[in-house]
Amino acid sequence: MTHPPSHEPASPRDLVGIGIGPCNLSLAALAHPLPELDAVFYEQRPAFDWHPGLLIEGATVQVPFLADLVTLVDPTSPWSFLNYLKDRERLFPFYFAEHFHIQRAEYDAYCRWVAEALPGLRFRHQVDAVRWNPERDVFEVDFTQLDADGEAEALGRTHTRNIVLGIGSVPYVPDPLQPLVDAPGVPVVHAADYLGHRDSLLAAGHVTVVGSGQSGAEVFLDLLRRRPAGREKLHWIGRTEAFAPMEYSKLGLEHFTPDYTRYFHALPEAVRDRLVAAQWQLHKGIDAGTLAAIHDELYRRTLHGGWPDAVLTPGVRVRTAGRIATSRIELHLEHLQQGSRSRLTTDAVVLATGYRDRPLGRILAGLDPYIRRDSSERPRIDQEYRLVLDPSVTGSVYVQNAELHTHGVGAPDLGLAAWRSATILNSLTGKAPYPLPSRTAFTSFGLEDPPARVPQARQLTPLVDGR
């Protein structure tokens, strides 16, 4: 084990980002033209990748292409999606294609283009711990540099005045199905790994898709298109009462504006929790085009008589699950409205059961005494996306896509990524390098909407060593 890599500066950095997904990549792109800001971003993976198991042919991003990493706060940025197309000599084909929603694979390729060109991104760097050093008024960030095989190559430490966490989410597996996932040789995979297992799933006699959101719909459609007519042998089940379309009306979409985020943040904690649970169709429904494509494919298979061997049943939960012999799976189902129960025998299961925020406890264990929490023991997060810390901590810890409980349904939405990044940079520098609009929605969400607040100016510690 060697000592810290030589590129770590002697003086504290202004910002250390932990994780390089779309959110922190947006922040890095917007921070790039700010010469006074010394920022570095660490990611344990060897390169940028965005849900590689779900880059299904034809699957699109559910936000318009303008919701790239930068455009909604800086349309002139060199890191825009349109500039990516220009660089690849694809701008005219895109213009004539008239696509407002781009394919997921294209969004992933765009983000890779940005990640490969931006300085300050450190892949194969695993952050191990974060501590506050009260003597020096800085955060200490310990990391492990990994080699090409993912093994530890060097230990490092850097110091920073501020941190931004963008460590993303992890696939969620319901408890009744966890034993099947852990069992070797049993074909139960999360949708996040779908493409890597598609061939074996297509070879299975009968396949069940569990989950009634967008991923479940896309996986079901892809399997349906690839299995022979009349011998589809597919089941699709989910807990929601219907295979429901995502709310996509223009006024409905205003729930993904900064105006609504401000309104939501000002609500009492109990009201926020009720709203998050009730607003699932704003961000967990299915794109209407995907639903139409499923119906079209099913209908096409009836043209010569008969019905496809596919069963679609919403309102169903999996109570328990087990193996039959070594290769088959038995799901014990309950219909939530009927109160009836049944058993389903299948040869493979795809879990389109969503994601959960990656736990922050391991990384932030050293800061736990300083973190202020709400009544449910979740971190409190202020309007500028900072963890509320003990006043003795003079630095800031910002979070990206970990604030659903404080900022509402727009937290995981790509359409607010650039705005959130600009908000963080304005707050951190105190110079508002990215002026933001005071109003973004026609809807007034409350009788007394909280006014738009410009982040309070915070002066960076004077830069030294010529920085």
What tens digit of pLDDT does each residue of 76-130 get?
Answer: 999 999 999 999 999 999 999 999 999 999 999 999 999 999 999 999 999 999 9
Tokens encoding 114: 């940005």
Does the residue 19 lie in any domain? Answer: yes
Are the CB atoms for 66 and 82 separated by under 8 Å? Answer: no
Same domain? 63 vs 159: yes
The predicted pLDDT at position 276 comes to: 94
> How far are the Cα atoms of 42, 116, 121 from residue 45, in angstroms, in the given order?
9, 14, 11
Q: What is the largest CA-CA distance in the chain?
A: 78
* Sheet hosting strand 15-18, strand order edge to edge: 121-123, 39-43, 15-18, 162-165, 396-399
Same domain? 347 vs 394: no
Are the CB atoms for 450 and 262 separated by under 8 Å? Answer: yes
Same domain? 55 vs 151: yes
The predicted pLDDT at position 451 comes to: 56
**Mean of pLDDT over the chain:** 92
Are the CB atoms for 19 and 165 separated by under 8 Å? Answer: yes
Residues in the chain: 467
> How far are the Cα atoms of 179, 185, 197, 333 from residue 345, in angstroms, in the given order?
16, 17, 20, 11
Q: Which of 18, 67, 17, 21 is nearest to 37 (CA)?
A: 17
Are the CB atoms for 317 and 447 separated by under 8 Å? Answer: no
Which of 337, 355, 373 terminates a domain? The answer is: 355
Does the residue 63 lie in any domain? Answer: yes
**Total domain count for the chain?**
2
- pLDDT for 215 beyond 50: yes
Same domain? 21 vs 161: yes
CA–CA separation, 140 vs 233, rounded Å?
55
Same domain? 339 vs 380: no
> How far are the Cα atoms of 100, 101, 327 from residue 63, in angstroms, in the given order?
8, 6, 40
Same domain? 238 vs 304: yes
Same domain? 322 vs 363: no
* Sheet hosting strand 328-335, strand order edge to edge: 316-324, 328-335, 341-346
What tens digit of pLDDT does each residue of 220-243 get?
Answer: 999 999 999 999 999 999 999 999
The predicted pLDDT at position 326 comes to: 77
CA–CA separation, 367 vs 90, rounded Å?
47
Those residues with Cβ within 8 angstroms of residue 191's Cβ, 6 or more apart along the chain or in another chain:
53, 54, 171, 211, 215, 216, 219, 350, 351, 352, 353
Does the residue 418 lie in any domain? Answer: yes
Mean pLDDT on 312-337? 92
Are the CB atoms for 32 and 119 separated by under 8 Å? Answer: yes
Same domain? 346 vs 378: no
Mean pLDDT on 173-193? 88
Are the CB atoms for 72 and 419 separated by under 8 Å? Answer: yes
Which of 303, 320, 355 terminates a domain? The answer is: 355
CA–CA separation, 276 vs 407, rounded Å?
10
Band of residue 159 on the pLDDT scale cut at 50, 70, 90: very high
Are the CB atoms for 360 and 402 separated by under 8 Å? Answer: yes
Same domain? 152 vs 200: no
Eight-state DSSP code of residue 26: H
Q: What pTM did the predictor assign?
A: 0.92
Does the residue 464 lie in any domain? Answer: no
Q: Which of 427, 417, 374 is nearest to 396 (CA)?
A: 427
- pLDDT for 2 beyond 70: no
Same domain? 162 vs 240: no
The predicted pLDDT at position 5 comes to: 52
Beta bridge partners of 436: none
Same domain? 67 vs 78: yes
The predicted pLDDT at position 362 comes to: 83
Give the residue numbers spanning the domain of 145: 15-168+358-429
CA–CA separation, 295 vs 284, rounded Å?
19
State what percent of residues in the chain have pLDDT above 70. Answer: 94
CA–CA separation, 400 vs 385, rounded Å?
7
Tokens encoding 233: 């042998």
Band of residue 452 on the pLDDT scale cut at 50, 70, 90: low
More confident residue, 360 or 140: 140
Eight-state DSSP code of residue 462: P
Same domain? 384 vs 321: no
Element (H or E) spanning 292, and its range?
helix 288-300
Are the CB atoms for 420 and 23 separated by under 8 Å? Answer: yes
Does the residue 1 lie in any domain? Answer: no
Q: Which of 138, 172, 102 is nearest to 14 (CA)?
A: 138
- pLDDT for 449 beyond 70: no
CATH code at position 181? 3.50.50.60
Q: Which of 183, 158, 161, 160 is nearest to 173 (CA)?
A: 183
Apex CA 358: angle with CA 356 and CA 360, to 5°?
135
Does the residue 397 lie in any domain? Answer: yes
Element (H or E) spanning 214, and its range?
helix 214-226
Does the residue 462 lie in any domain? Answer: no
Does the residue 41 lie in any domain? Answer: yes
- pLDDT for 325 beyond 60: yes
Are the CB atoms for 1 and 393 separated by under 8 Å? Answer: no
Distance of CA 178 to the CA centre of its chain: 22
Are the CB atoms for 351 and 189 separated by under 8 Å? Answer: yes
Distance of CA 101 to the CA centre of its chain: 18
State what percent of residues in the chain have pLDDT above 90. Answer: 83
